[in-house]
Amino acid sequence: MAISDEIKEFLESIGKSISKETSDILSTVTGKEVAISVNKISELDMKELMSLYPADILSVRFNISDKPEDFIYVLFEKDIAVKISSWMIMESDEGVEFSEEKHLDSIKETANQILEHLSPVLSEELKKRVEFFSIKAEVLKLEPNLFDIPDPVSVEYSLNMGDNQERKVTKILSSETIERLLKGEEETESVEEVPSEEVESPEIELEDSIPQVEKEEAEEEEDIITSEPQLPEEMTEKIGLLMDLSLPITIELGRTRMLIKDILELGHGSVIEFDKLAGEPVDLLINDKKVAEGEVVVIDEHFGIRLTNLIKPSERIKYLGK
C-alpha cells in the first residue's frame, strides 16, 4: 500500500509536535541539549530496518485503544537507553553496559513521562481525546514477521543528544491507526453538529426521573445510590450503545509536587509524603473523573477498594461522557 500525500503530511505535522515535546522532556531529565526531528516516512521495509539496526534492539510499545492493531512501536539502540538512564541520575555513561534489569525500568519511566505530556498536546491538535495504554519496554530480536499489524508504516526520526552524533529512532504503526487519528477532527465535528436540545434534554429528564437523590436526607442516600435510576427510553437506548466501551479506572492515593532536583535525589528507601492524611478515603477515578471514595482492601492477594461514598448517578453519567 502506497502512503498517500495526506497521510505523509499528517505524520509530518504531528511528528513536529512529538519531536518538540520529546526533545524538551529528554533535555529536562538528562540535563543535555536533545534535538529530535522527523527524517523519513515510508512503508515498513523489514530488510531495510534489519540492516539499520543490530539484531537485538530496544522497543517501547504502547497502545492508543484496546485494539491489538493499534499498538505503536518505538525502536532504538541500547546505547540510547544507557545514556538517558545514566544522565538522569547525573552519572557518566562511559563504560556502562546495557542491563535489562537496570535500564528497561528507566526507559519505561521516561516513556511514561513523555506520553503523559504528549496526551493533551495531541488531543488538542487532533480535536479528540488521545490516551496511551499498555506501555512496555523490552528487548526485541528483529525478524521478518515481527510486527503483526496491518499495513505497517515507518516514521524515522533523527536524534541528537548533545554530542553531535546522529542516532536513529524508528516508530512503527499501522495504517488503520493513522486513519483513526487522522479522522479525529471530523468525528468531533460530527458530534458538535448535534442540536443542543437533543443533548440537553436527556440530562434534564434524568434529573426529573430521580428527584429523590437531591431531596432525601443523608441517611437515605445509600439506598438511593444503590438503586438503579429509571432513565427515559430514549436515554436508555443511547446509553446502551456505549455499554461495550471500556474506560480506565484509577485509584488515587494522593498527590504532591516535587522539584526535579528532589526527584533526581530519590533512591531506595526514600519516602514521599502525599496530601492525604492516614485514614482518609482514597479516590476512585473513572475516565479521569472522580466518581467515588472508598477504603483499600485486599482480595486474594490483590488490592481492591470498598466504596464508601458515591456521587449522584446523574453526575456519574455526565462525567463518563466527558
d(CA 99, CA 9): 38
Mean pLDDT confidence for 263-289 = 83
Q: Predicted confidence band at 170 (pLDDT cuts at 50, 70, 90)?
A: very high
Are 136 and 60 a contacting pair, CB within 8 Å?
A: yes
For residue 205, with 0-12 CB atoms within 10 Å meaning exposed, 13-18 middle and 19 or more buried, which class applies? Answer: middle
Assess whether pLDDT exceeds 80 at residue 314.
Answer: no
d(CA 161, CA 221) in angstroms, rounded, equals 58
Residues 118 and 133: their CA atoms lie apart, in Å, by: 13
The whole-number pLDDT of residue 201 equals 43
User: pLDDT digits over 179-188, tens only?
Assistant: 888 875 444 3
Least confident of 30-34, 202-206, 308-312: 202-206
pTM above 0.85, yes or no: no
Q: pLDDT per residue over 84-109, tens digit each?
A: 888 888 888 888 899 888 888 888 88
Average pLDDT, the chain: 78
What pLDDT, on a 0 to 100 scale, did the predictor assign at position 206? 43
Asked if 64 and 133 touch (Cβ cutoff 8 Å), the reply is: yes
Judged against a pLDDT cut of 80, whether residue 222 lies above it is answered with no
Cα-trace Rg, the chain: 24
Q: What is the pLDDT of residue 208?
A: 47
CATH code, 5-184: 3.40.1550.10
Residue 204 has pLDDT above 50, yes or no: no
CATH node for 195-320: 2.30.330.10
Long-range contacts of the stretch 195-204 (C-beta < 8 A, 24+): 202/231, 202/232, 202/234, 202/235, 202/238, 203/314, 203/318
Which residues lie closer than 8 Å to 140 by C-beta, 6 or more apart? 56, 57, 58, 59, 75, 146
pLDDT at 128 over 80: yes
First to last CA, the chain: 36
* pLDDT class of 200 with cuts at 50, 70, 90: very low
* Segments making up each domain of the chain, as ranges: 5-184, 195-320
